[in-house]
Amino acid sequence: MTGMDETAPVTAALLIIGDEILSGRTQDKNLAYLAAWLNEAGIDMAEARVVPDVEAVVVEAVRALRGRYTYVFTTGGIGPTHDDITAECLAKAFEVPLQVHPEAHARLLAHYGEADFTPARQRMARVPEGAVLIDNPVSIAPGFQIGNVFVMAGVPKIMQAMLEGLRARLKGGVTVLSKAVTIRAPESAIAGDLGEIQAAHTGVSIGSYPFFRDATGQSGAQIVVRSRDAAALEAACAAVIAYCRRENLPFEEN
């Protein structure tokens, strides 16, 4: 991303906690969803990390990220099993005790009933001191917010439902607008000129994302133009399209 207007950007990082992502067994789907959701809210996803279920590693990552970005989101590790250690890690990262949250306890107790509210299930009522709950309309067990860190479930449906409840808590910036032009020619055919178009358009970020034999069997590149300024966006897109026409490169706007 070069040339984009960086006026007071609101930034975020995602910390994905889970051995299953690092072993390749589970394909993460939360990063792409959260990034697109935040983008609409005018918040830039600036970094993501995937770490294993190892306390020292999670604690260090939370500390590194929370000082660097406006918001940090975490996914994973808030269930009832022994490998769910996110609440403990957040308490350590913020140097506060982990304690039972009365409202979380009440919700879980009402859901499971006295007889089935096992010690493992009771673990899900613990949050770091000072944390505010994040509602879970799907499966009850809440996430929580502490400082600028939002701790959410790893299961995509639950994470997405939690996120909807956070809209009012997040301050957004100016939404980044984007347009794409797909060129059905080798990326290298336009590379030099694209650099010139980028240089001529300030406040705009132009990215080129090549693809190799897509569903249509063709190769090419998607040129993505992004800006917080609609007029600047249109001008840069028009320059890309004018170039394609001049050089007779097949293209589509999308």
Considering only residues 60 to 89 of the shown chain, the ones binding its own copies according to CB under 8 A are 79-84
Nearest approach, Cβ of 133 to its own copies (angstroms)? 18
Question: End-to-end alpha-carbon separation of the chain, Å?
Answer: 20
Cα–Cα distance list, 12 to 43, 65, 68, 124, 151 (Å)? 7, 9, 9, 25, 13
Show the site string, 194-233: x = touches its own copies by CB under 8 A, - = not: xx--xx-----xxxxxxxxx-------x--x-x-------
Of residues 80 and 130, the one with the C-beta less far from its own copies: 80
Rounded distance between C-alpha atoms, residue 199 and residue 157, angstroms: 42
CA nearest neighbour of 155 among 85, 40, 77: 77
Of residues 90 and 221, the one with the C-beta less far from its own copies: 221
Q: Which stretch binds its own copies (CB under 8 A): 92-100, 143-151, 187-195, 243-251?
A: 187-195
Report the site for its own copies in 152-181 (rule: CB under 8 A). Answer: 154-155, 157-158, 176, 178, 180
CA nearest neighbour of 141 among 162, 156, 113: 162
Of residues 46 and 239, the one with the C-beta less far from its own copies: 46
Rounded distance between C-alpha atoms, residue 198 and residue 188, angstroms: 15
Which listed residue (10, 17, 43, 45) binds its own copies by CB under 8 A? Answer: 45
Of residues 22 and 133, the one with the C-beta less far from its own copies: 22
- DSSP-assigned letter for residue 36: H
Q: Say if CB 221 and CB 208 are below 8 A apart.
A: yes
Q: Which burial class, exposed, middle or buried, applies to 13 when counting CB atoms under 10 A from its CB (0-12, 13-18, 19+)?
A: buried
Q: Which stretch binds its own copies (CB under 8 A): 18-26, 88-96, 127-135, 239-247?
A: 18-26
Asked if 21 touches its own copies (CB under 8 A), the answer is: yes
Which listed residue (41, 57, 170, 235) binds its own copies by CB under 8 A? Answer: 57
Asked if 5 touches its own copies (CB under 8 A), the answer is: no
Nearest approach, Cβ of 159 to its own copies (angstroms)? 10
Asked if 121 touches its own copies (CB under 8 A), the answer is: yes
Q: Which two tokens stand for residue 200?
A: 């001529």
Of residues 27 and 231, the one with the C-beta less far from its own copies: 27
Nearest approach, Cβ of 58 to its own copies (angstroms)? 11
Rounded distance between C-alpha atoms, residue 232 and residue 241, angstroms: 14
Amino acid identity, position 151:
V
Nearest approach, Cβ of 130 to its own copies (angstroms)? 26
Element (H, E) at 13: strand 10-17
